[in-house]
Amino acid sequence: MNWLTDLKEKFILNFVEKSRYRYLLDGLGNTLIITLLSVMLGVVIGVIVASVRSTYDKNSEAWKRRGGVFHVFMKAVNRLCHIYITVIRGTPVVVQLMILYCVILASSRNDLLVAVLAFGINSGAYVAEIIRGGIMSIDNGQFEAGRSLGFNYMQTMIYIIIPQVFKNILPALLNEFIALLKETSVAGYVGIMDLTKGGDTIRGVTYSSFMPLLAVALIYLVIVVILTKLVSVVERKLRKNER
Amino acid sequence: MSGKVIIDVKDLKKYYNDGAVKALDGVTTQIKEGEVVVIIGPSGSGKSTFLRSLNMLEYPTSGSIKVDGADITAPTADLNLHRRKMGMVFQHFNLFPHMTVMGNLTAAPRKLLKKSREEAESYALSLLKRVGLADRADAYPSQLSGGQKQRIAIVRALCMQPEVMLFDEPTSALDPEMVGEVLDVMKDLAKAGMTMVVVTHEMGFAREVASRVIFMDGGVMIEENTPSELFGSPKSDRLKSFLNKVL
Ligand SMILES: Nc1ncnc2c1ncn2[C@@H]1O[C@H](COP(=O)(O)OP(=O)(O)OP(=O)(O)O)[C@@H](O)[C@H]1O
Ligand SMILES: [Mg+2]
């Protein structure tokens, strides 16, 4: 029973002594705050960017016919959105975080805010593409049926397209948020005390790696498993409602 | 038939890919109140493009379409208002899958014509009775057969009380045994005096119901006549060979 007492000692050293478990608890708090706020920011950005891009796809011909600067303006905005998505999806989130922290917002003292901005801006690109993909997956006949009844573009979107898109993409969106939760684990790179950094800090003072890292992994795993379960419940509900 | 002209099409052209594809290459015709115009022709001849232009689902490259005297191809035309007057029935029904039949029928009248729910529903129900589907009001589209879906789609368009009904191959996606029930609804509609433009391969329907049949090929209207004349004594060789193939 030697190894059991050894394990117990390690446990006490890493978590109980000097209330070191607080590193994990506080870290978890920060991880959840960052994730939640970035999800919200990501959804806002994603909806706006997806709206611009889908609206442009469906209306550019009509705008062109009418002429004027509006079409030119929207073309530029659409281009900008496209660049945003390409850049964000084409670079690692850690690099984006560091650029924001060390270059663009170097003067900011609010680290948490910088992290939320970085992860929110990052997530927005993915959310935008999920939404746009959802809109594109709806048969064009649905648009045409709406327009042929006399609905304008906005009404067609609101009454006919979005309700169908929402059902289709909800699981993908929730999965994106689960991925985001894990991605925030790089927040420690810019000195934020998130869950991962918390475990790392314990490791730094106790010189034992196994327990703190295992604890960190377990906590992520439990949250992800719970959220994944939630997604499948939502998925099942949606499938039952659609007949 | 000497009713007033509702749709007046002049030299309508629709080019794709910078003129490489000439879907419509100069179409001129008039459609009068109460007329049932049936358009026939081989695949790719521009039938759908013509029909969809009447609703501005396709923007013509040049030419004009006047509806009740107003040119709908003008960039300033209010297309949303125009489309309310033109009911459209598609080959693939395009019912809204997230709404019940009643939801499908009343969405546009309520939102666009500002009808009350009761008003919209009672009108929809009276039309549902006419097509024999009053008992399906609470069903979802996925619970209906193809023939039922298309009858509902026709009723959906009618609920906007349109001046003209456009049909793009309304029976082509149906199992043979369901074609009849949809054609019957269309025949009733024609008898009731609705102005109709119908793209179809149902030559029997054309013979029986059409006031005029138009034969299209290569983006132009080759020949138009009463059904008995057009089917009985076709003039152009292209129409003759087409009729040989389909009849
Ligand atoms: N979006 C498009 N881009 C390029 N070409 C097109 C497009 N839409 C239609 N066309 C072409 O225009 C021509 C006319 O097409 P249209 O759909 O009007 O024919 P149709 O008479 O309705 O044929 P069908 O009986 O097969 O439905 C065809 O050659 C078609 O390939
Ligand atoms: Mg066609």
For residue B47, report the phi and psi dihedrals to the nearest 5 degrees. -60, -50
Which residues in chain A touch residue B143, judged by CB atoms under 8 angstroms apart? 243
Burial of B4 (0-12, 13-18, 19+ CB in 10 A): exposed
- Rounded to whole angstroms, how far apart are CA atoms A179 and A174? 9
CA of B22 to the centre of ligand 1 (A): 9
Please report, rounded to a whole number, the percentage of residues in chain B having pLDDT higher than 90: 96
Helix, strand, coil percentages (3-state) for chain B, rounded to 5, are 40, 25, 35
Ordered structural domains, chain A, with CATH: 2-242 (1.10.3720.10)
Indicate the residue type of B138.
Answer: D
- CB contact (8 A) between residue A150 and residue B97: no
CA distances to A76, A82, A91 from A79, in Å: 5, 5, 18
Which phi and psi (to 5°) does residue B198 adopt? -125, 120
Scanning the structure block, which residue is given the tokens 């107003």?
B70
What pLDDT is attached to residue B246?
87
Residues B210-232: pLDDT tens digits?
A: 999 999 999 999 999 999 999 99
Residues, chain B:
247
Q: Please, which pLDDT band fits residue A110 given cuts at 50, 70 and 90?
A: confident
Q: Which residues contact A240 (CB under 8 A, 6 or more apart)?
A: none
pLDDT at A178: 94
Percent helix / strand / coil, chain A, rounded to 5: 90, 0, 10
Q: Is it the case that residue A148 has pLDDT exceeding 80? A: yes
> Which residue's C-alpha comes closest to atom 6 of ligand 1?
B16
Element (H, E) at B13: strand B5-16
Backbone angles phi, psi at B113, to 5 degrees: -90, 0
Q: Looking at chain B, which residue has its C-alpha nearest residue A139?
A: B94
Average pLDDT, chain A: 91
**Inter-chain touch B157–A149, beta carbons under 8 Å:** yes
Residues of chain A found within 8 Å of residue B150, distances taken between Cβ atoms: none
CA A59–ligand 1 middle distance (angstroms): 21
Ligand 1, from B16, B25, B55, B168: best to mutate by most atoms within 8 Å of Cβ? Answer: B16
Confidence of residue B2 (pLDDT cuts 50, 70, 90): low
Chain CA centroid to CA B53, Å: 11
Residue B11 has pLDDT above 60, yes or no: yes
To the nearest whole Å, the CA of B157 is away from the closest chain A CA by 7
Helices (H) and strands (E) in chain B, counts: 9, 10
Nearest-CB residue to B92 (from A141, A150, A164): A141
Q: What is the pLDDT of residue A16?
A: 80
Residue A240: per-residue pLDDT: 77
Sequence-distant (6+) residues with CB within 8 A of B107 are: A149, A159, A160, B96, B99
| Encoded amino acid at A81, one letter | C
Q: Which of B80, B96, B156 sits opposite A160 (nearest CB)?
A: B96
> Band of the pLDDT at A15, cuts 50, 70, 90?
confident
pLDDT tens digit string along B124-146? 999 999 999 999 999 999 999 99
Distance CA B85, CA B75 (A): 18
Residue of B22, B48, B172 to test ligand 1 pocket, by largest number of atoms within 8 Å of CB: B48
Q: What per-residue confidence (pLDDT) applies to B205? A: 96
Q: Which residues contact B22 (CB under 8 A, 6 or more apart)?
A: B13, B14, B15, B218, B219
CB contact under 8 A, B59 and A67: no
∠B201-B203-B206 over CA atoms, to 5°?
105
Q: Which residue has the tokens 């064009």?
A: A140
Contact A34, A119 (CB under 8 A): yes
Contact A210, A13 (CB under 8 A): no
Please tell me the number of the ligand nearest to residue B167's CA: 2
How large is the average pLDDT for residues A210-226?
A: 94
- pLDDT confidence of A107, banded at 50, 70, 90? confident
Nearest to B3 by CA among B40, B37, B28: B37
How many interchain CB pairs under 8 A, A with B? 69
Q: What is the pLDDT of residue A139?
A: 95
| B59-101 residue pLDDT tens | 999 999 999 999 999 988 999 999 999 999 999 999 999 999 9
Encode A102-124 in three state secondary structure: HHHCCCCCCHHHHHHHHHHHHHH
Closest CB from A65, A151, A160 relative to B75: A65
Tell if the CB–CB gap between A66 and B96 is shorter than 8 Å. no
Cβ atoms < 10 Å from Cβ of B129 = 11
Nearest-Cα distance to chain B for A61, in Å, is 9
Whether the CB-CB separation of B117 and B124 falls below 8 Å is answered with: no
Q: Which residue has the tokens 């024609």?
A: B190
Contacts of A149 in chain B (CB under 8 A): 83-84, 107-108, 112, 156-157, 160
A141 CA: distance to closest CA in chain B (Å) = 6
How far is the alpha carbon of B13 from chain A, nearest alpha carbon, in Å?
A: 15
* Region A174-197 average pLDDT: 93
Which pLDDT does position A125 carry in this prediction?
97
Please give the single-letter amino acid code of residue A78: N
Going by alpha carbons, the residue nearest to atom 10 of ligand 1 is B23
Residues with beta carbon inside 6 Å of ligand 1? Answer: B 16-17, 21, 23, 41, 43-49
Q: What is the DSSP string of B176-214?
A: HHHHHHHHHHHHHHHHTT-EEEEE-S-HHHHHHH-SEEE
Whether the ipTM is more than 0.90: the answer is yes
Report the residue from A67, A141, A152 with minimal CB separation from B75.
Answer: A67
